[in-house]
Structure 1
Amino acid sequence: MASGTQSTGMLTREQLFHLFDRFSFLTSQPEVKNRISGAVQDKQEAVAVTTAIQEEIFLEMGVDPRFGISCLGKVSTVYENDMDLVIQFYKFLSKEEVACDEAELGEEEFAEKLLNQQMLQEQQLEMLKYMRKFNLDDQSAILEKLHQHMENGNYESETSILSAEQIEEIVPRKVSPLYTPR
């Protein structure tokens, strides 16, 4: 470990935001994309390269790389009440996953995966819009059923959607009693 590098405590909010921004910038650069792709072609793990990039950023920041990486594993618990930071952290993780996928899948397969993800997100949005017409108790019941559906489907992405018909089956019918003449 280089002298003068941070190796105790926890990374600050500002340090984490710097890491997230710098990583996003670097992984969007053609030479970094080529570095990750080249490593994959050489039978290396893409995630090993993205981790190395993160370690390089930590060194630039004056943070011991092993310490910095260990702090990333604690972000969602240490900063659990900082919604903005947690959201940015998950965006950071998503960017890492995208960088790895792009290198591992190749251009055509990666474009297909992005298109499939976009279609899935549009379906999820439509489902959420449809759910909004129900009261909060019904929405809770729908979300609980969705959770069970995803759990049973081993959290595969296609299990994150319920059709209008499936939602209608979950929500109890609000039917007025039949008029019965005396």
Structure 2
Amino acid sequence: MASEMQSSGMLTREQLFHLFERFATLTSQPDVKKRILDAVLDKQEAVAVTTTIQEEIFVEMGVDPRFGLSCLGKISTVYENDQDLVIQFYKFLAKEEMACDEAELGEEEFAEKMHYQQNIQEQQLEMLQHMRKFNLDDQSAILEKLHKQMENGNYESETSILSVEQMEEIIQRKVSPLFAVS
């Protein structure tokens, strides 16, 4: 006799990690990529296909798909203190977005977007490496300025970067003669 599907409570950390890993594996396979692309070519939303894939994984796990999807909407709240899980959740969301973009944008435009994203990430890494040379108060001032810049720029990727000169300018403005070290 088939067991009943889980439909109450909250998904466990292990269940969520399994979902994230299985989804990443499936969406990397050529037949699944083709499934998403075929849906887009058939004028369907790519996200509808990725949601269906998630539902299929939930069924494999013995979880009611509607319940499983509702749990995804609660992860940031229920697991707010579990940094590893929240990071994996955001990677999962990024993987879903990437699978959709790959199908919707076409090969050339998708490759351009990936190159652009990689370039932004490299610039962010350089910025963070340089920022680590400053003391914690200076780092806080830089992050505060970066946050304001991103907020004002509607969180577009380009707004997540400060140049070395901009960081040094933030620190120089922060320094007051009253707090200067002799």
How many angstroms does 1:172 deviate by?
Answer: 2.3
Coordinate RMSD, CA, aligned: 1.8
- Residue 132 of structure 2 is matched in structure 1 by 132
Moved over 4 A (4+): 173-176
How many angstroms does 1:3 deviate by?
Answer: 6.8
How many angstroms does 1:50 deviate by?
Answer: 0.2
- Residue 47 of structure 1 is matched in structure 2 by 47
Whose radius of gyration is greater, 1 or 2? 1
Could you tell me which runs of 5 or more consecutive residues in structure 1 were left unpaired when the two chains were aligned. 177-182
Which string of whole-angstrom CA distances, capped at 9 and with x for unpartnered residues, describes residues 43-75 of structure 1?
111111000000011111111100000000011
Task: Tell which deviates more after alignment, 167-176 or 55-64.
Answer: 167-176
- Residue 119 of structure 2 is matched in structure 1 by 119
- Residue 71 of structure 2 is matched in structure 1 by 71
Give the counterpart letter for 2:52 in structure 1.
Answer: A
- Residue 94 of structure 1 is matched in structure 2 by 94
Q: Distance in 2 between matches of 1:113 and 1:57?
A: 28
**Size of the alignment, in residue pairs?**
176
- Residue 180 of structure 1 is matched in structure 2 by none
Q: What secondary structure does 2:48 align onto?
A: helix
Which string of whole-angstrom CA distances, capped at 9 and with x for unpartnered residues, describes residues 111-150 of structure 1?
1111111110111111111111211111100100000001
How many angstroms does 1:76 deviate by?
Answer: 1.4
- Residue 162 of structure 1 is matched in structure 2 by 162
Q: What secondary structure does 2:172 align onto?
A: coil
- Residue 83 of structure 2 is matched in structure 1 by 83
Could you tell me which runs of 5 or more consecutive residues in structure 2 were left unpaired when the two chains were aligned. 178-182
Task: Tell which deviates more after alignment, 71-80 or 81-90.
Answer: 81-90
